[in-house]
């Protein structure tokens, strides 16, 4: 699962990307796209790992994609290289400048957000319109068109004419028929306000906060923190009155906007988080681990993370009868610890 980092030039995309991925291998602006794969922090995995002392501990992962320098977006510029760079991502992190910078206008995060968001919508509008026109032509020539696709495209057109981003319509965001178009405003989006070091509050933008998933990061500060030895970082955290690094929260939020949850497998060789979409049935979850487990599925032995903690051990959970046997259609919940029974 891949998240594209977008934002106006100078909003702090590179800074945020490096703070999140801890990739400082080649600082500064680069011409090529950068991709960073990182662990999704999860305290439950840490505790399960303490409990089982496995040889390997494996966290869920997400990927961040930072468009290269040639793909910078200047406000109002026609160039859609930025859009092309992130077209294939599953979600967006929209970085919004909320700090003063030399040679730039005073921060206006609300306006900046809307500006780029409108450009996403404009890009989508052009795609949708072109496609609808083509369908009309085909239709006139008596060739068959997919009526359902056409209907959905018209819904997109209507929403975009009213400047409503397509992500506000879950049916559109999830539509299989529209997936191939890479519609930008349909992607789940995390709005990330990039604040100055001294400011930890979300900007007072109720209109945006009411509709969007918003988080705040002090990009420059986090960038410094991420490069420091642990003791120095602890000192800085204290100085700036930070309970914990914000990057963990942003990474978790990235995972959540993708609609992803984790189930766990545990044992002495491996404690591992597996990534699935919400509402995934047990049979499909089994297939994430291995197709053989899916094919030979018998039952899933399931205990929730909380129940396992309450019982103290798997044996305790069995005794408490919180360890359950579930069938193929059971909807796996976030934090389920599962042992699949299967035959090959
Ligand atoms: N004060 C302050 N400066 C920042 C912050 N984030 C980035 N900057 C600075 O803003 C400039 C542009 O940042 P950069 O990450 O290159 O932005 P990009 O063009 O979106 O990639 C750099 O000089 C950064 O050091 C921040 O949170 N606070
Ligand atoms: Mg940059």
Q: Are 203 and 98 in contact (CB under 8 A)?
A: yes
Flag whether pLDDT at 190 surpasses 80.
yes
Centroid of ligand 1 to alpha carbon of 250 (angstroms): 17
Q: Is the CB of 11 under 6 A from ligand 1?
A: yes
Q: Is the CB of 98 under 6 A from ligand 1?
A: no
- Percent of the chain with pLDDT strictly greater than 90: 74
Centroid of ligand 1 to alpha carbon of 58 (angstroms): 32
User: How far does the chain reach from its first CA to its final CA, in angstroms?
Assistant: 30
* Predicted local confidence at residue 247, as pLDDT: 87
Segment 128-149 shows an average pLDDT of: 95
Q: Which CATH number fits domain 279-342: 3.10.20.30, 1.10.760.10, 3.40.50.300, 3.40.228.10?
A: 3.10.20.30
Segment 140-168 shows an average pLDDT of: 96
DSSP codes joined into one string, 151-218: HHHHHHHHHHHTT--GGG-HHHHH-TTTGGG--GGGS-EEEEEEE-TT--SPPS-HHHHHHSEEEEE-
| Arithmetic mean of pLDDT over the chain | 92
* Predicted local confidence at residue 84, as pLDDT: 82
Q: Is the CB of 109 under 6 A from ligand 1?
A: no
Measured by CA distance, the residue closest to atom 4 of ligand 1 is 220
Which helix (DSSP H) or strand (DSSP E) does residue 324 occupy? Answer: strand 324-326
Centroid of ligand 2 to alpha carbon of 114 (angstroms): 20
* Predicted local confidence at residue 206, as pLDDT: 84
* Predicted local confidence at residue 83, as pLDDT: 81
Give the environment of ion ligand 2: residues with CB less than 5 A. Answer: 13-14
Considering every ligand atom, which ligand is closest to the CA of 70? 2
* Ligand 1 binding pocket mutation candidate from 4, 11, 12 (most atoms within 8 A of CB): 12
Q: Is the CB of 10 under 6 A from ligand 1?
A: yes
pLDDT band at 70 (very low <50, low <70, confident <90, very high): low
Segment 157-186 shows an average pLDDT of: 95
* Predicted local confidence at residue 13, as pLDDT: 94
Atom index in ligand 1 nearest the CA of residue 195 equals 27
Show me where the domains of the chain are located.
279-342
* Ligand 1 binding pocket mutation candidate from 10, 75, 95 (most atoms within 8 A of CB): 10
Q: Is the CB of 129 under 6 A from ligand 1?
A: no
Give per-residue pLDDT as tens, 93-135: 999 999 998 888 999 999 999 999 999 999 999 999 999 999 9
Flag whether pLDDT at 1 surpasses 60.
yes
Centroid of ligand 2 to alpha carbon of 73 (angstroms): 10
Give per-residue pLDDT as tens, 12-32: 999 999 999 998 887 665 678
Spatial distance between the Cα atoms of 99 and 279, rounded to a whole number of angstroms: 40
Q: Is the CB of 165 under 6 A from ligand 1?
A: no
Measured by CA distance, the residue closest to atom 25 of ligand 1 is 220
Residues 283-316 as b/e (b if ≥16 CB within 10 A, e otherwise) read: bbbbbebeeebbeebebbbbbbbebbbebeebeb
Spatial distance between the Cα atoms of 66 and 6, rounded to a whole number of angstroms: 8
Name residues whose C-beta falls within 8 Å of residue 226's C-beta, 6 or more positions apart in sequence: 18, 19, 22, 24, 245, 247
pTM value is: 0.89
pLDDT band at 238 (very low <50, low <70, confident <90, very high): confident
* Predicted local confidence at residue 303, as pLDDT: 98
pLDDT band at 72 (very low <50, low <70, confident <90, very high): low
């Amino acid at each position: 699962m891949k998240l594209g980092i977008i934002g106006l030039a100078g909003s702090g995309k590179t800074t945020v990307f490096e703070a999140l991925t801890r990739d400082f291998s080649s600082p500064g602006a680069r011409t090529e796209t950068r991709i960073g794969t990182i662990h999704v922090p999860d305290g439950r995995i840490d505790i399960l790992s303490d409990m089982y002392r496995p040889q390997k501990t494996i966290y869920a992962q997400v990927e961040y994609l930072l468009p290269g320098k040639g793909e910078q977006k200047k406000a109002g510029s026609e160039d859609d290289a930025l859009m092309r760079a992130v077209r294939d991502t599953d979600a967006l992190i929209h970085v919004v400048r909320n700090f003063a910078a030399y040679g730039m206008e005073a921060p206006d995060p609300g306006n900046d957000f809307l500006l780029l968001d409108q450009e996403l919508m404009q890009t989508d509008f052009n795609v949708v319109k072109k496609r609808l026109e083509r369908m009309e032509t085909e239709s006139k020539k008596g060739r068959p068109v997919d009526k359902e696709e056409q209907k959905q495209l018209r819904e997109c057109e209507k929403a975009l004419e009213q400047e409503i981003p397509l992500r506000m319509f879950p049916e559109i965001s999830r539509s299989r028929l529209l997936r191939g178009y890479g519609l930008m405003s349909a992607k789940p989006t995390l709005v990330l306000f990039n604040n100055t070091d001294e400011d930890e509050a979300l900007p007072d933008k109720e209109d945006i906060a009411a509709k969007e998933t918003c988080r705040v990061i002090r990009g420059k500060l986090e960038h410094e923190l991420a490069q420091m030895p642990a003791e120095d970082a602890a000192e800085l955290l204290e100085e700036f009155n930070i309970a914990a690094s914000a990057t963990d929260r942003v990474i978790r939020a990235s995972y959540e906007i993708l609609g992803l949850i984790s189930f766990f497998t545990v044992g002495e060789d491996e404690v591992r988080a597996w990534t699935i979409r919400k509402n995934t049935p047990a049979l499909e979850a089994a297939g994430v681990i291995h197709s053989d487990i899916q094919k030979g599925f018998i039952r899933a032995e399931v205990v929730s993370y909380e129940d396992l903690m309450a019982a103290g051990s798997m044996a305790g959970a069995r005794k408490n009868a919180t360890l359950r046997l579930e069938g193929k259609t059971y909807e796996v919940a976030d934090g389920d610890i599962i042992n699949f029974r299967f035959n090959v």
